[in-house]
């Protein structure tokens, strides 16, 4: 018994017709079938075109002279969603993402954009679902990207092209704003990636990880540079390489904002050496910070030092930084003073939190000592805050070093910022707190872009996937910044806002201009709030 069946080939996008003949397999004692290729679906007419069984049309010669190149018309009638992808198209033009990707990836930029769009709009779906996205949405590439093709795309993204993209994006914002720099950890189940290591995990996952460093513009709220790091590299060790790469990218008048995790004398010297402006968090345990705290005493809590906006007391002092620069090529060392502003802040709520945290930590340390469960990483704190006495008769006795605790208490509630440019402590604090954009970006990267657990099995695929997710992050950061600017989070989440626009359809008919469905007044206002011209009736 024979029948004709249709099979769709996802790789080529073609639909084939087969003649299927059923028979009984005596050896295996089960029904089987034989298939023979008899034709291919013509996408224009919707009818079957017979073949000779090997994929060639009957009556056609093997060699066909190529037709003259020209515009490729729409072959199929399509009705697809367009409202959200139109928004992303316009953001790509406004931020220069599309133009910069085209300059760096002339053959693949449309694929990169389409996968980025998928990650943003279908944030809970795995990339294997791109076929469904292609059928339902208009997007830059305009065709399906099967899993094998996306893997090949990720592996084809070169370091040279990425660096060129970072340079183009960074130069759109250079000299206009401070750049916030921070790192995050991304856990991985892979055992084959070379940089997956155990380290200090910022999500408290008990998994090996890679670290990711990001640079963000504090005014634009947009990222423009990232770097993948081995999971066991601490923050303070990343600054030197960052400064080298920024120099290679050709950036000149840079302004950096970092937290205390990046503070070291070598890093501050490096910033001075490169003539970069900076605002850097630092520890209150540094000698010049403790001296300033002692000088001010309770006077820091005077009314004239209080900031109503930030609910902190603040004071500033100009100090001389002991600058050191080694010159291996000359075999000498340059030393001298560099002017620096030391900004000191006191927060009464932070003082209470610091004390509660310190008491909890001391109780934990004492319990570890009493039960002989000492941890190597706590060894310095054991010696700092406790004295241990052991005798055969009385056993173990733990004495608390009250003087050490009293000295620690003197620093509760204080925090320090350093700058070689900003004199005003409130302005410095305002700029420093814009680092929140990095923290929020890390949340977007891990939650909306499925980046919390990296499942890629090769280093090349990981590098490429991270880059495409980074491109997606620029779009998400733009949308988030505009939503905050226009108080849209009072009414929408980012998911619900994209859903509100995503329902707008477009209609593609061969030989006709793209037709766009109805756009409501509310949707027009959303486009305007996001800095985009509303979708026209004819696109």
Beta-sheet strands, E only, within 328-391: 332-346, 386-391
Count up the domains in the chain and report the number: 4
Instruction: Flag whether pLDDT at 8 surpasses 80.
Output: no
What is the mean predicted confidence (pLDDT) over 298-320? 94
Residue 200 within any structural domain of the chain: yes
Residue 447 and residue 437: Cα distance in Å, rounded? Answer: 15
Q: Do both 401 and 427 map to the same domain? A: no
Write down the pLDDT at residue 78: 83
Do 124 and 35 belong to one domain?
A: no
Same domain, yes or no, for 359 and 260? no
Q: Is residue 478 part of a domain?
A: no
- Show the tokens assigned to 389: 């006495």
The DSSP secondary structure of 110-135, one letter per residue, reads: HHHHHHHHHHHHTTTS-GGGHHHHHH
Which of these ranges, 1-10, 70-79, 189-198, 463-472, has the smallest mean pLDDT? 189-198
Say if residue 203 is in the same domain as residue 95.
Answer: no
How far apart are alpha carbons 361 and 365 in whole angstroms? 6
- What proportions of the chain, in percent to the nearest 5, are helix, strand and coil? 40, 25, 35
Task: Assess contact for 218 and 257: CB atoms under 8 A.
Answer: yes
- For the chain, count helices (H), then strands (E): 17, 19
Q: Same domain for 218 and 195? A: yes
Identity of the highest mean pLDDT range in 146-155, 165-174, 226-235, 306-315? 306-315
Task: Note the pLDDT of residue 189.
Answer: 45
Which structural domain range is residue 391 located in?
A: 350-409
Same domain, 183 and 131: no
pLDDT digits (tens, 9 = 90+) for 242-275: 888 887 777 767 889 998 989 999 999 999 998 8
CA distance readout (Å), 314 to 60, 302, 427, 435: 85, 9, 11, 19
- Say yes or no to pLDDT of 223 above 50: yes
Does the pTM surpass 0.75? The reply is no
Predicted confidence at residue 91, as pLDDT, reads 96
Specify whether 201 is located in the same domain as 326. yes
511 — pLDDT class (breaks 50, 70, 90): confident
The per-residue pLDDT for range 106-143, each reduced to its tens digit, is: 999 999 999 999 999 987 778 888 999 999 999 999 99
Q: How confident is the model at residue 370 (pLDDT cuts 50, 70, 90)?
A: confident
What are the DSSP calls for 196-229, one per residue? Answer: -B----TT--SS-EEEEEEEEETTT--EEEEEEE
* 348-370 vs 402-409: helix crossing angle, rounded to 10: 160
- Residues 188 and 333 reside in one and the same domain: yes
Which range has the top average pLDDT, 1-15, 414-428, 438-452, 453-467?
414-428
Q: Provide the sign of the torsion angle of the four alpha carbons 180, 99, 138, 126, taken in this order.
A: negative
More confident site: 51 or 355? 355
Q: Is residue 537 part of a domain?
A: no
The percentage of residues in the chain with a pLDDT greater than 70, rounded to a whole number, is: 81
Domain for residue 141, yes or no? yes
Tell me what pLDDT residue 448 has. 54
463, part of any domain: no
Residue 288 forms part of a structural domain? yes
Do residues 402 and 445 both lie within one domain?
Answer: no
Quick one: 281 and 330 in the same domain?
Answer: yes
Section 434-459 average pLDDT = 57
Q: Does residue 281 fall inside a structural domain?
A: yes
Judged by phi (left if over 0) then psi (alpha if -120 to 50, else beta), residue 132 lies in alpha
CATH of the domain at 227: 3.90.350.10
Instruction: Report which of residues 196 and 288 the model is more confident about.
Output: 288
Whether 73 is covered by a domain: the verdict is no
Q: How confident is the model at residue 438 (pLDDT cuts 50, 70, 90)?
A: low
- The answer on 107 and 252 residing in a single domain is no
Within this chain, do residues 172 and 209 fall inside the same structural domain, yes or no? yes
Q: What is the mean pLDDT of residues 299-328?
A: 93
Please tell me the distance from the alpha carbon of residue 69 to that of residue 60, in angstroms, as a whole number.
21
pLDDT band of residue 452 (cuts 50, 70, 90) is: very low
Query: How high is the pLDDT of residue 251?
Result: 76
Distance CA(498)–CA(538), nearest Å, equals 21
413 SS3 class:
coil
């Amino acid at each position: 018994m024979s029948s004709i069946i249709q099979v769709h080939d996802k790789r080529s996008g073609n639909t084939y017709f087969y003649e299927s003949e059923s028979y009984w397999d005596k050896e295996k004692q089960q029904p089987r079938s034989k298939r023979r290729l008899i034709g291919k679906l013509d996408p224009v007419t919707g009818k079957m075109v017979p073949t000779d069984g090997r994929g060639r049309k009957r009556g056609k010669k093997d060699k066909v002279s190529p037709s003259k190149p020209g515009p490729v018309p729409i072959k199929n009638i399509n009705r697809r969603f367009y409202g959200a992808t139109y928004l992303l198209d316009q953001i790509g033009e406004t931020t220069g993402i599309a133009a910069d990707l085209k300059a760096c990836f002339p053959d693949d930029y449309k694929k990169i954009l389409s996968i980025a769009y998928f990650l943003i709009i279908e944030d809970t779906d795995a990339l294997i679902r791109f076929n469904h996205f292609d059928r339902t949405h208009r997007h830059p590439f305009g065709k399906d990207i099967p899993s094998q093709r996306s893997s090949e795309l990720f592996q084809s993204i070169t370091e040279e092209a990425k660096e060129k993209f970072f340079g183009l994006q960074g130069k759109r914002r250079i000299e206009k704003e401070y750049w916030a720099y921070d790192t995050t950890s991304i856990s991985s189940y892979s055992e084959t990636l070379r940089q997956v290591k155990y380290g200090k995990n910022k999500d408290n996952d008990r998994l090996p990880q890679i670290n990711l460093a990001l640079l963000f513009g504090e005014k634009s709220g947009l990222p423009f540079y990232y770097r993948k790091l081995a999971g066991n590299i601490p923050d303070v060790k990343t600054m030197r390489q960052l400064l080298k790469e920024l120099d290679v990218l050709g950036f000149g008048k840079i302004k950096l904002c970092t937290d205390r995790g990046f503070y070291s004398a070598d890093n501050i010297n490096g910033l001075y050496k490169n003539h970069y402006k900076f605002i850097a968090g630092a520890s209150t345990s540094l000698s010049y910070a403790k001296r300033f705290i002692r000088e001010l005493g309770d006077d820091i809590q005077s009314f004239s030092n209080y900031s109503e906006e930030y609910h902190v007391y603040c004071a500033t002092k100009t100090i001389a930084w002991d600058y050191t620069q080694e010159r291996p090529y000359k075999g000498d060392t340059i030393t001298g003073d560099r002017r620096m502003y030391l900004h000191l802040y006191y927060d009464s709520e932070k003082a209470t939190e610091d004390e509660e945290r310190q008491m909890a930590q001391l109780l934990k340390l004492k319990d570890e000592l009493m039960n002989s469960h000492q941890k190597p990483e706590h060894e310095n704190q054991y010696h700092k805050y406790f004295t241990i006495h052991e005798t055969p008769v009385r056993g173990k006795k733990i004495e608390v070093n009250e003087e050490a605790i009293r000295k620690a208490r003197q620093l509760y509630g204080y925090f320090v910022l350093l700058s070689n440019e900003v004199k005003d402590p409130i302005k410095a604090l305002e700029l420093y707190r814009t680092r929140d954009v990095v923290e929020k970006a890390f949340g977007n990267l891990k939650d909306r872009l499925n980046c919390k657990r990296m499942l890629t099995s090769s280093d090349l695929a990981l590098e490429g996937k991270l880059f495409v997710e980074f491109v997606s992050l620029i779009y998400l950061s733009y949308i988030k910044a505009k939503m905050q600017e226009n108080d849209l989070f009072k009414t929408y989440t980012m998911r619900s806002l994209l859903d509100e626009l995503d329902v707008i359809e477009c209609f593609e008919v061969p030989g006709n201009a793209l037709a766009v469905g109805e756009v409501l007044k509310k949707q027009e206002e959303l486009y305007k709030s996001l800095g985009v011209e509303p979708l026209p009736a004819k696109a």
